Structure 1
């Protein structure tokens, strides 16, 4: 508590000193005091606004999907047994989140002196990928923070850091007084934050030991390995795979099945350890594993073997709801597609980003309908620059003809590529498939021995030749019963 209050106390003392000094100056010379107030008042206001963030900012909204005890009694029963072993009360609610992590918080008042409700957050990726004993070790670790009262002042500590950051950001660096205060507070705050990080690392070590004594050293060590691996692969999954069809309005029908396949494809690959930092709130993972392994604790709570998914009844809808909650309200409007379809949808959405503009330019330049054939005719007529003009792109008067032509070539190549890929896909000549850990793979039907990149390059060269590309499209675009797509050839 002393560390939490050190920086705000310093801010309050400085603000009070500035106000007292200005008031005292008024008793000596009101005119001089007015001059002093020009510098003192803005500084006091900045410090006061930072303290306001600390004292009066309310609890943050809860995120995640509630896990109700009547619907998921097995998970709740395990949490209650682990809480009893830790000598603490269980949480008032459990929420499933889209994070590859777990956490506990407490709603408090009077800067943490009065505790109200306890909340536990468990990441859906952990439930989907961990074994039940390993997840139990993670939960036991978090419950130990309750038992050690680490969470009692966690909210106040967070607001204290927010208040400190708000104050430093709001200070006017052109004002000499505020610049001096910024220098003093920044260096003082750095010392306090360093001490706070040391305290936090001690709390984490104590929670690690409590988890090992509750469920055993072996499951706890295994849980540490799982956490590192799952967190790294989940970050990759969210960035590269989960939202691959987002712009086209799609999400995967079974996201966690894809996550499992990604993890399988990454099996055996080393996970890079983070560089140690003096302000880290957790000890290095290697140090944590060594300490827990040295305890060689057998554990006191029996946890059923098997996957953590077995702790939930009908887990898939709950995991999916947690994922949607993490993606935000827009996710609710997205349609669902299986992974092979999503690979195709996402790739074509990305590839056709410039296709509409290029086809429209070709139609305008030739006076013909918007179509892929019109674009090829325009290229054969050496209209590369006209077709590749982007009104929203960079237009510098100093650019020479060669620069404009090369810029147009890049845009036309991208637009033509998208149109051809879409047309061949619609004709059934391109086959899209999953290819973990990449976003996917595409293969031209074995009936065609052409090199598609070479044909596209030839179409946008200085001496354009679309003959072979047209032949490929003509061969693929035979009359079929299925409806044509947006970028069909004919």
Structure 2
């Protein structure tokens, strides 16, 4: 009941946002009247006009859009009682225990999370359609008693009427955020609105934290203290495993143009293969701390409160939670079809997906070396044979010193063994003599046709010295590796897999206005950016409009590897000259009206430019 009153308080504060707007409007009118007694009426109007626009215009537009907006259900796979009878039976049972009606829909979602929503009417006075969301990773990883605890917690939000005001709060947050985004950072009206919005978030988040603690009582009521606490302990472990799975296995292949044919099945295989690592993580104590801005209390605090709650007689059930679904593998594949837009990516089974992913990454590394080789020698079709010719002629150190600027030429030639290994690996794959072997428990292994690891690191050590080069070539031939198969695939670097580091609006590139995005692999020049004002807002909308790779393909992308030198003529406003390896020059000139995406954007760009030269 306390949480319900707090939720109502947050709604009252949403209404207070518009009271603040009316007060500011009245203040603006009073200001105009007072200024008009001192100054010319036209001047008074010019001073007060921005206040009117911010107070009336921004609030009206944002409110109109918020009223028309409706929270959309999270994408997922709806499973009915005929498709998952055991899951529905369990939800019916738990709903009866916590004293609420059964949700209208159960939807599987691709998250390490569970949630509920309700489309209530008349400010929550009339109950509406209910949806229970269950993350399929939870069903893959948890025990039955743990998932019962999770489901009871979510159903407890219904019995506590926590979802009744969800749509109102959603529209209120949209209106508040929309208003603030339409007011310039220097407008004093915006200062008041931003301060009030922060106060609202404090109240709303406090209500949310209290609701979570109330819902935890339903978990204990159904599953008991042990299961409820263990379910909470499991969440950060699964979060970490899910992030590791995507970063290590899924994202590299996605960026290379591939998609696994069983996304969720792969996560289940990872959980099985790395059970010992997960058990070690489970043994760690949950982090404490927390912030007043958090929507959930710290897990350590929740577990502590659960330990003091009256225990229930819920029996432990260590069966895997996947038994609640008739065929979790098939449902996972159906969910993937609904929520994953693969575009033109190639779908592959996991062994082939990993092999193609790692091979693409190695080829990308080799291509960077080959492109540098083309610039160094003028070779139109650079490849491994040209690198071996440099070794034979004793010029490898001269070429390699660009990769190891702090080494002598002799040292650089020895250090080149590591890049050489990548070149040999790409040639081996292209020759059909080797492949990358998938593993869930360790990094992919590079193996030959017989499935045994290839000693290419040893051969690479031999291949960087003229006296041992013949032995290296002979050993490659014996393994069925043709050096001629190692050649450049991508003749110009692109932004695949790149990250955004900085962005500046209103930069003149050779005298023409552009917006500039700095990636870890190069610069993106956005021509015809529009009006000079609101540059930060324009940059934010740009980077949110599409993935960075797509933005780089739509606009002019200049890879850093094409930079020969860069000279910073002036730091503020930034003025620099870049010379490319092909002899072209371009100047970058920041205007006084330039704006930054983040306050350190200029410093980040300056640091990158200085790495190619020195300041005047």
Given the two structures, how large is their TM-score scaled by the length of structure 1?
Answer: 0.79
- For 2:470, the equivalent position in structure 1 comes to 467
Tell me the number of residue pairs that the alignment of Structure 1 and Structure 2 aligns: 466
Q: Give the secondary-structure state (helix, strand or coil) at the position aligned to 2:342.
A: helix
- For 1:422, the equivalent position in structure 2 comes to 426
Q: Deviations over 1:182-237 (max 9, x none)?
A: 1x343443333223322222211111111211232232222222223212211211
How far the C-alpha of 1:105 sits from its partner, in A, is: 0.8
How far the C-alpha of 1:446 sits from its partner, in A, is: 11
Q: Matches of 1:435 and 1:72 in 2, distance apart? A: 29
Does structure 1 residue 355 correspond to structure 2 residue 359? Answer: no
2:249 to 238, 241, 246: 241
Does structure 1 residue 317 correspond to structure 2 residue 317? Answer: no
How far the C-alpha of 1:167 sits from its partner, in A, is: 3.3
How far the C-alpha of 1:88 sits from its partner, in A, is: 1.0
Q: Matches of 2:179 and 2:225 in 1, distance apart? A: 44
- For 1:440, the equivalent position in structure 2 comes to 444
How far the C-alpha of 1:355 sits from its partner, in A, is: 2.8
Task: Compare the two structures and name the one with the higher helix fraction.
Answer: 1
- For 1:256, the equivalent position in structure 2 comes to 267
How far the C-alpha of 1:434 sits from its partner, in A, is: 1.9
Question: More deviation in 374-383 or 226-235?
Answer: 374-383
Q: Matches of 2:350 and 2:484 in 1, distance apart? A: 19
Match runs of 1:108-123 below 5 Å: 108-123=120-135
1:75 to 83, 87, 109: 87
Question: More deviation in 355-364 or 74-83?
Answer: 355-364
Q: Give the secondary-structure state (helix, strand or coil) at the position aligned to 2:23.
A: helix
- For 1:291, the equivalent position in structure 2 comes to 305
Q: Matches of 1:202 and 1:147 in 2, distance apart? A: 14
- For 1:227, the equivalent position in structure 2 comes to 235
- For 1:132, the equivalent position in structure 2 comes to 144
2:17 to 2, 8, 11: 11
Match runs of 1:401-420 below 5 Å: 416-420=420-424
Judged with a 3 Å threshold, the aligned counterparts in structure 2 of structure 1 residues 368 and 143 are, in CA distance, closer, same or farther, namely closer
How far the C-alpha of 1:251 sits from its partner, in A, is: 1.4
Give the conservation status (yes or no) of the 8 Å contact 1:15–1:48. no
Match runs of 1:442-457 below 5 Å: 442=446, 452-453=456-457, 455-456=459-460
Judged with a 3 Å threshold, the aligned counterparts in structure 2 of structure 1 residues 203 and 486 are, in CA distance, closer, same or farther, namely farther
CA RMSD across the alignment: 4.2
Question: More deviation in 33-42 or 229-238?
Answer: 33-42
Q: Give the secondary-structure state (helix, strand or coil) at the position aligned to 1:353.
A: helix
Q: Matches of 1:473 and 1:225 in 2, distance apart? A: 51
Judged with a 3 Å threshold, the aligned counterparts in structure 2 of structure 1 residues 385 and 10 are, in CA distance, closer, same or farther, namely farther
Q: Give the secondary-structure state (helix, strand or coil) at the position aligned to 1:118.
A: strand
Q: Deviations over 1:22-51 (max 9, x none)?
A: 567788966466235423222212333443
How far the C-alpha of 1:112 sits from its partner, in A, is: 4.1
Give the conservation status (yes or no) of the 8 Å contact 2:270–2:440. no
Give the number of the structure with larger relative contact order, counting CA–CA contacts within 8 Å between residues 6 or more apart.
Answer: 1
Q: Give the secondary-structure state (helix, strand or coil) at the position aligned to 1:245.
A: helix
- For 2:114, the equivalent position in structure 1 comes to 102
Task: Compare the two structures and name the one with the higher strand fraction.
Answer: 2
- For 2:355, the equivalent position in structure 1 comes to 344
